[in-house]
A = this chain, B = another copy of it.
């Protein structure tokens, strides 16, 4: 199904109150400040004007021209009527308004869908936080704006989605799209999976779900998407108490977790255990589509190298056995105190040259599938120098980077990120990133 009217719209109308702080105002502000280049029409029966980001918009009393999508944040009871009225003018509607099936108003939700069907309008929501089409500079939500990149985030929970966007900014994640689909009265997780599977700006899909209504359809969509790109899933409501809580808040039956787990495994989706892992997996897959199991660790500090090695083995990855040629070559240019066995310890005074030559040498080794580069910069070597070594290294295998620590590596990490290289803040999180990459089946 083509959902371009939502994620790459050419025109949008926003319905609601345009008082400062009101939902519709905040969404309009996000659309304008986000640099949306299409037509943007605020609508409220009271008319008047609204100022956002230094621009003054006339608020129309009603929609009187066709737009791709409508974003609706008016009281629930008026939504079906509005859809009936503007149905002939719109392709899709995002219904932010709450007060439908999630509070027992099933009838109102049915009415909404009836009106939408009558006009062939597709609905996202109701009771949702909205959508972003980041590459179309369309921020149709009150959530915090994000940077363009490869991650499409599909979230059943609006609050989880909003938090994940803001935290994604902190983690240096780039997004292609975001959708909070709320009650899923019409479009649901399966529709979005299929759409983003074919969206060329999306490199990886992340999905937060509590429960799905149509398991068979979900399985099919998950398989379709996973065959095309990495799909990361965070399933909430796995425990007995968690499932009960999920049922009470989305009304969705979480169902047996075992069934979901089997589905994830069977379709090749990457299941993560925690919110933070979702970010880490997304970061890894924004850079690489997969990696083999044999890892070489290159470090300038022993302890963190040991921690990485422990975690890699624990996760079922292999500490690559370097070839004799590699060991010999490393020995030829590394100082004698360095360890040329994997993990390779370049010791504290490792500089640009030592890192670069080592990564390139190891990268040529046929026994190595991927490389984990650790750097704890000593006071006399700026982290930017090591970052440059990683950036300028010629290596065609996945390189996962762990620069520690805090303020001391801020410069290096920023430099890496400007070149599309994401940093993992601890050795263990970097090791886990390689684990996700190794779980992805060959295409």
Task: Please name all residues of chain B whose beta carbon is closer than 8 Å to the beta carbon of A428 when the two chains form the complex.
Answer: 273-276
Q: Could you tell me the distance between the alpha carbons of A250 and B210 in the complex, rounded to whole angstroms?
A: 47
Flag if B242 contacts A306 (CB, 8 Å): yes
Residues in B with CB closer than 8 Å to A21 are 379-380
Q: How far is the CA of A155 from the CA of B304 in the complex (A)?
A: 12
A242 in contact with B313 (CB, 8 Å): yes
Contact in complex: A303, B167 (CB < 8 Å): no
**B248, A144: Cβ atoms under 8 Å?**
no
Query: Are the C-beta atoms of B239 and A303 separated by less than 8 Å?
Result: no
Closest residue to A98 on the B side, CB-wise?
A: B348
A249 touches which one: B160, B236, B302 (CB < 8 A)? B302
Whether A1 sits at the interface, judged by CB under 8 Å, is no
Counting every copy of the chain, the complex holds 2
Q: A344: nearest residue on chain B (CB-CB)?
A: B245
**Pairwise interchain contact B313-A239, C-beta atoms closer than 8 A:** yes
CA distance in complex: A241, B429 (Å): 18
Give the interface size class of chain A: 35 or more
Residue in contact with A210 in the complex, picked from B303, B311, B343, CB distance below 8 Å: B303
Closest 10 CB pairs of A and B: A157-B303, A159-B301, A249-B302, A163-B405, A166-B406, A166-B405, A160-B303, A239-B313, A163-B404, A242-B310
Contact A404 B167 (CB under 8 A): yes
Are B302 and A379 in contact (CB-based, < 8 A)? no
Contact check, A142 vs B276: say whether CB atoms are below 8 A apart: no
Write out, one digit per residue, whether chain A residues 123-164 have a CB within 8 A of any chain B CB (1) or not (0).
000000000000000000010100000000001111110111
Cβ–Cβ contact B236 & A274, under 8 A: no
- Bound complex: CA of A238 vs CA of B308, how far in Å? 11
Residue of B nearest to A235 (CB): B310
The yes or no answer to A256 lying at the interface (CB within 8 A) is no
Q: How far is the CA of A142 from the CA of B376 in the complex (A)?
A: 14
Given contacts A242-B313, A428-B276, contact A307 B236 (CB under 8 A): yes
CB A420 to nearest CB in B, in angstroms, measures 21
Please tell me if the beta carbons of A160 and B301 are within 8 angstroms of each other in the complex. yes
Within 8 A of B (CB), among A155-202: 155-160, 162-170
Q: Given A236-B303, A236-B306, decide whether A405 and B165 contact each other with a Cβ distance below 8 A.
A: yes
Shortest A63–chain B CB gap in Å is: 25
Task: Judge if A240 is at the interface, Cβ distance under 8 Å.
Answer: yes
Judge whether A337 is part of the interface by a CB distance below 8 angstroms.
Answer: yes
State whether the Cβ of A443 lies closer than 8 Å to any Cβ in chain B: no
Distance of A235 from chain B, by nearest CB (Å): 9
Would you call B306 and A156 a contact (CB within 8 A)? no
**Residues of A near any B CB (own CB < 8 A):** 21, 23, 26, 103, 142, 144, 155-160, 162-170, 208, 210, 234, 236-242, 244-246, 248-250, 273-276, 300-307, 309-314, 319, 337, 339, 341-343, 345, 348, 376, 379-380, 404-409, 425-429
- What residue of chain B has the Cβ atom nearest to residue A247's Cβ? B306
Bound state CA distance, A157 and B248, in angstroms? 49
Known: A167-B404, A169-B406, A275-B427. A348 touches B242 (CB 8 A): no
| Chain B residues closer than 8 Å to A307, beta-carbon distance | 160, 234, 236, 242, 274-275
Q: How far is the CA of A68 from the CA of B345 in the complex (A)?
A: 36
Please determine whether B301 and A242 come into contact, CB atoms closer than 8 angstroms. no
Cα distance, A144 to B26, chains bound together (Å): 41
Q: A245-B343, A343-B245, A379-B142 are in contact. Are A237 and B166 (CB under 8 A)?
A: no
Q: With both chains docked as a complex, state the minimum distance between the C-beta of A277 and any C-beta of chain B, in angstroms.
A: 9
Query: A144-B408, A426-B275 are known contacts. Are A306 and B246 too (CB-CB below 8 A)?
Result: yes
| CB-defined contacts of A242 to chain B, threshold 8 Å | 306-307, 309-310, 313
Chain B residues within 8 Å of A246, by CB: 302, 306
What residue of chain B has the Cβ atom nearest to residue A25's Cβ? B379
Whether A301 contacts B157 by the Cβ 8 Å rule is yes
Separation of A159 and B378 alpha carbons in the complex (Å): 8
Q: In chain B, what residue has the closest Cβ to A297?
A: B245
Taking a contact as CB atoms closer than 8 A, the residue among B163, B304, B343 that contacts A376 in the complex is B163
Tell whether, in the assembled complex, residue B339 and residue A249 are in contact, meaning their CB atoms are under 8 Å apart: yes
Give the distance to chain B from A276, nearest Cβ to Cβ, in Å: 5
